[in-house]
Structure 1
Amino acid sequence: MLTEINFDGIVGPSHNYAGLSVGNLASTRNFGRTSRPRDAALQGLAKMRLCLDLGLAQGWFMPQDRPNQAWLGRMGTDMSLATAELRYAAMSASSMWAANAATVSPGADTADGLCHLTPANLVTMPHRSHEWTGTLAQLRLAFANSASFAVHEPVPAPFGDEGAANHMRLCSAHGQPGLEVFVYGLQGGSFPARQHRQASAAVARLHRLPAERTILTQQSEEAIAAGAFHNDVVAVANENVLFTHEQAFADREGLYAELREKLPQVVILEVPTSAVSLADAIASYLFNAQLVTRPGGGMALILPGEAKATPSVWNWLQTLLSGNGPIRELHVADLRESMANGGGPACLRLRVVADPATVDPRFLASADRITRVEEVVRKHWPEEIAPDDLARPGLWNAVASARMRLLDALGLAEL
């Protein structure tokens, strides 16, 4: 049976605050702080458990091999000789944000009936540009059933693709044909655009999407300049609902008109700037919430604690709940460690509409399996990583060993 499965990235043991993400205000602001990888991973696992408790299907992706010695070797160096910048990039745990792992088009939308997945190349940021090889290996393993899935290689450089964080899907129900909305960017003030129009168009072609059910629209330059480095910081969609900030899109009226023409049942919940400023929306990650459909019907928002702590945001949400709209529940998750690097609930997950029976079961979570992973994390994940620790061979070895312990516990040693 087709259902939406949220695949979360398990936060890796090298989680640190190296401030590598230009345009990501939280990442820049927290540069040099001491991180807490163990807490970060446990917070992410607690969110997965919350999703299970809500009756949702839950999957996961593994942390990637860190430090990435193979990537450094291609640049003629290694961890002991690399500059601090390259060393930080080689130790990055940013693959935890699975929304950037790939773009996914369910079989209900595609010409061949297969669910298509294209890993993001992430070429704009050096610390993320080497993730795709590890991501591709996991996608090929998790979605190896060729009767149900087609896994592509990334769009080639220099066309930047940052995955599902810049892709939305609107439909009457997850298993029904839908509209796929690709959001690309241009320069936003001093910040670069990470999603190129050419990359979005290429993914749509690779996924064999009919032109009449594909929309390319531009993210507003104001949003990028304000720190919305991905569209999912200012807009999120679920089934027939688009939940968005007033300043998310360059041509909001044109986009809304096209959505209403192609999907008459669409509900557009727009938060006005007069109620929630762009700055508050971005700082609170209001739109980086997970907007999900409960099995019994009705939608819920899974929000970071920062949304509740921002008065304008929380007041607007209370007004939302008091109405008769599609969003009926709010659930708050503590994701402080991820948020401090600029990643909220939606950053941590990749949505895949598929029959769970067609997915490699090692990539599907249950309450018991989450408990098993929590035990590994508590025993082997570093408690803290200070910036100077990234130069210590002892940490490099501990991080690699911790990851192998997790893969062994889940029967994924081939990764």
Structure 2
Amino acid sequence: MNYYEVNFDGLVGPTHNYAGLSYGNVASKSNANKTSNPKQAALQGLEKMWHLVQLGLHQGVVAPNARPDLITLRACGFAGSDSAVISKAAKAQPQLLKACYSASSMWTANAATVSPSCDSADGKLHITPANLNNKLHRAIEAPQTSQILKAMFSDPDFFSHHEALPQHPLYGDEGAANYTRLADSYGHQGLALFVYGEDAHTQVKPQLFPARQTRQASEAVARSHQLDPQNTLFIQQNPEVIDQGVFHNDVIAIGNENVFLFHEQAFYQQQGVIEQIKAGYQGDRPLHLIEVKNADISVEDAVKSYVFNSQLVSLPSGGMAVIAPGECQMVGKVEQYLSALCQASNPVSEVIYMDLKQSMQNGGGPACLRLRVTLSQQELSAVNPACLLDEGLYHRLRDWINTHYRDRLSEADLADPSLMTESQTALDTLTTILNLGSVYPFQQA
């Protein structure tokens, strides 16, 4: 049976703004309070999706969470009409209002962890939405993200949905941004790599920035997904690079099928990690472990360019392509390394640069914007077809974005209740386009 990797990218929501909410994310903090362009952000993300379709890949679309999050604002004591809630929160708790307006659900690498059916004991694809409990603006996403994913992967014969882990520091879960799967091919038993920043039973942890993923959370997800312990590794991220702005593993490492590209400072006690991966990998095709030396790309340049937050995709024509942010071309050593990588003895044959400046300025690159889902042909046929990108959907979404999105959004605009109305109108229309039903709270009011 054929298996495919399908990238499900998050549509950038109508309230995309630069609030600087993500402590530990260098780009997010450094661009705080700048004026954003939601229309440009959404179109940039859509163009990346469409480019992958043109490469012959399957591509999906994930709807954004509804923003502002009125449920959270009301839970925090703001009452009255929806407009009154916005106005009161803007005066009394502007930082809370920023969190409730955040469009961060666009980074679907954090939406969930997804294990394919060929890895699970019951032969089903398993989905666990991330609780994202390290940051308020992200911790409020899980319930609605879960509803959206259930509307996309609804057939219980193929898909098993789990609840997000408890909202407790012991179980901090950031989703697929800290999960990589290495396999001979997509449909073969894979080696699941769960990367965590902190283990409650040790003192090895970063000192400056928080470790957002815990080992305990990774182990819980692996149990729920019925993964074979013999094919599952739990690897600690190097706490020193977390303190340099590497808040997720996908900022310092990337894997696809039999290729794993990672920085030489990515993991704690890295040589032992490399040996574990070599011992755990199974397959006829050779495993390519590509360790990038600090002399070639420093951690600082990796964070600045987001080179490891590129997508690494298998091309239908053979070989692999790196889908890299345009910022990589602005850092000479990074562009040189990627060019040399394509000439070396490994499956990577092409680098494609994409303009994602609006997302990058908020701290998310190509890999942040997508959730990778390995699907058999049968499972792909069971996915909500309205969420799979083709030329017709591409043009409908372009028209939808151009109709409903602003081209400027500042911090002061968040206090204007008309932004809430615009956002709700846009998302109500989107649920019809993507055939999602009533996944948003405002639709059920």
For Structure 1 versus Structure 2, the TM-score category normalised by the shorter chain is over 0.9
Q: Distance in 2 between matches of 1:45 and 1:296?
A: 23
Residues 255 and 261 of structure 2 are in contact (CA less than 8 Å); yes or no, is this contact kept in structure 1?
yes
* 1:131-176 Cα deviation digits (max 9, x unpaired): 0011100111111111111010011121110000000000000111
Counterpart residue number, 1:285: 306
Residues 151 and 437 of structure 2 are in contact (CA less than 8 Å); yes or no, is this contact kept in structure 1?
no
Matched, 1:226 2:244: yes
Specify the SS of the correspondent of 2:241: helix
Q: Distance in 2 between matches of 1:352 and 1:139?
A: 12
Matched, 1:209 2:221: no
Counterpart residue number, 2:443: none
Out of 408, 413, 438, the position equivalent to 1:384 is: 408
Please show how residues 339-358 of structure 1 align to structure 2 within 5 Å.
339-354=360-375, 355-358=379-382
- Displacement of 1:413 in angstroms is 4.1
Out of 149, 153, 157, the position equivalent to 1:143 is: 153
* Amino acid paired to 1:398: E
Please show how residues 366-385 of structure 1 align to structure 2 within 5 Å.
366-385=390-409
- Displacement of 1:330 in angstroms is 0.5
Q: Distance in 2 between matches of 1:246 and 1:358?
A: 41
Please show how residues 168-317 of structure 1 align to structure 2 within 5 Å.
168-186=180-198, 187-263=205-281, 265-317=286-338
Out of 95, 99, 116, the position equivalent to 2:109 is: 99
Counterpart residue number, 2:43: 42
Specify the SS of the correspondent of 1:385: coil
Matched, 1:407 2:428: no
Counterpart residue number, 2:144: 134
Counterpart residue number, 1:80: 87
Q: Distance in 2 between matches of 1:185 and 1:205?
A: 19
- Displacement of 1:406 in angstroms is 2.1
* 1:297-351 Cα deviation digits (max 9, x unpaired): 2110000000111101001111112223210010010000000000000000001
* 1:181-208 Cα deviation digits (max 9, x unpaired): 0000034231101001110000000000
Residues 160 and 196 of structure 1 are in contact (CA less than 8 Å); yes or no, is this contact kept in structure 2?
yes
* Amino acid paired to 2:354: A
Specify the SS of the correspondent of 1:11: coil
Instruction: Number of aligned residue pairs: give it.
Output: 415
Q: Distance in 1 between matches of 2:262 and 2:435?
A: 40
Specify the SS of the correspondent of 1:244: strand
- Displacement of 1:401 in angstroms is 1.6
Specify the SS of the correspondent of 2:342: helix
* Amino acid paired to 1:58: Q
Out of 149, 153, 165, the position equivalent to 1:155 is: 165
* Amino acid paired to 1:132: A
* Amino acid paired to 1:218: Q
Counterpart residue number, 1:333: 354
* Amino acid paired to 1:345: P
Specify the SS of the correspondent of 2:87: coil
Residues 4 and 352 of structure 1 are in contact (CA less than 8 Å); yes or no, is this contact kept in structure 2?
yes
Residues 119 and 132 of structure 1 are in contact (CA less than 8 Å); yes or no, is this contact kept in structure 2?
yes
* Amino acid paired to 1:120: A
- More deviation, 180-189/281-290: 180-189
Residues 86 and 416 of structure 2 are in contact (CA less than 8 Å); yes or no, is this contact kept in structure 1?
no
Q: Distance in 2 between matches of 1:300 and 1:5?
A: 15
Identity of aligned pairs, percent?
A: 45
Residues 151 and 436 of structure 2 are in contact (CA less than 8 Å); yes or no, is this contact kept in structure 1?
no
Residues 404 and 413 of structure 1 are in contact (CA less than 8 Å); yes or no, is this contact kept in structure 2?
no
Specify the SS of the correspondent of 1:16: coil
Specify the SS of the correspondent of 2:88: coil
Residues 188 and 225 of structure 1 are in contact (CA less than 8 Å); yes or no, is this contact kept in structure 2?
yes
Q: Distance in 2 between matches of 1:405 and 1:223?
A: 42
**When the two structures are superposed, what TM-score results if normalisation uses the length of structure 1?**
0.98
Q: Distance in 2 between matches of 1:73 and 1:212?
A: 46
* 1:37-80 Cα deviation digits (max 9, x unpaired): 00000000000011001111000110111111012112222322
Counterpart residue number, 2:10: 9
**When the two structures are superposed, what TM-score results if normalisation uses the length of structure 2?**
0.92
* Amino acid paired to 1:380: H
* Amino acid paired to 2:49: M
* 1:355-407 Cα deviation digits (max 9, x unpaired): 31021112211122011001010111111101111111121211222222222
Gaps of 5+ in 1: none
* Amino acid paired to 2:382: T
| Root mean square deviation, CA, Å | 1.1
- More deviation, 42-51/245-254: 245-254
Gaps of 5+ in 2: 79-84, 199-204, 440-445
Residues 259 and 266 of structure 1 are in contact (CA less than 8 Å); yes or no, is this contact kept in structure 2?
no
Q: Distance in 2 between matches of 1:367 and 1:236?
A: 29
* Amino acid paired to 2:338: L
Residues 38 and 407 of structure 2 are in contact (CA less than 8 Å); yes or no, is this contact kept in structure 1?
yes
Specify the SS of the correspondent of 2:72: helix
Q: Distance in 2 between matches of 1:155 and 1:68?
A: 21
Counterpart residue number, 2:25: 24
Residues 103 and 119 of structure 1 are in contact (CA less than 8 Å); yes or no, is this contact kept in structure 2?
yes
Matched, 1:398 2:422: yes
Specify the SS of the correspondent of 1:227: coil
Please show how residues 60-79 of structure 1 align to structure 2 within 5 Å.
60-77=61-78, 78-79=85-86
